[in-house]
Amino acid sequence: MRSRVVNNDATCQNRRIYMSKTVENSFDIALRELEEIVASLEQGETPLEELMQKYEHGVKLHAHCQKVLRDAELRIEQLRSAANGAEFVPLSGDAADVNT
C-alpha cells in the first residue's frame, strides 16, 4: 500500500524551517571549524604538509561561509523590496515561500 504525501501549508512551513536550520547549522559548524583551523595555524607548530591541508580546507570553509552570507543578504534585500511594494522573487529552492 502506498502512502499519500500531503503538501499543505504546515508541511511547507516545516520544510522551510528545516532547510533554514540546516543552512544555519552548516554555517555555524563551518565557521567554528574555520576558527579552530586559524587558531591551530597561529600556534605555528603544525608540520608543513598538515598546514597546507588545513589551509586548503579553511579556504573551502571560507568560501562556503561567504556564499551563505551572500544568500542571506540577497534574501534580506528581496524581503525589503517586497515590503516596499516590489514583487517578491524567491531564491532557487524557496518556491514554497511565495504563498507566505
pLDDT digits (tens, 9 = 90+) for 48-71: 999 999 999 999 999 999 999 999
- Gap between the Cα atoms of 66 and 26, Å rounded: 12
pTM exceeds cut of 0.85: no
pLDDT above 90: residue 96: no
Looking at the structure of the chain, the number of domains it has is 1
Does residue 64 lie within any of the structural domains? yes
Q: Cell 561561509, residue?
A: 65
Does residue 98 lie within any of the structural domains? no
Torsion of Cα atoms, 24 then 27 then 29 then 34, to 10°: -160
User: What's the CATH number where 71 sits?
Assistant: 1.10.287
Q: Choose from 2-6, 42-46, 53-57 the range with maximum mean pLDDT.
A: 53-57
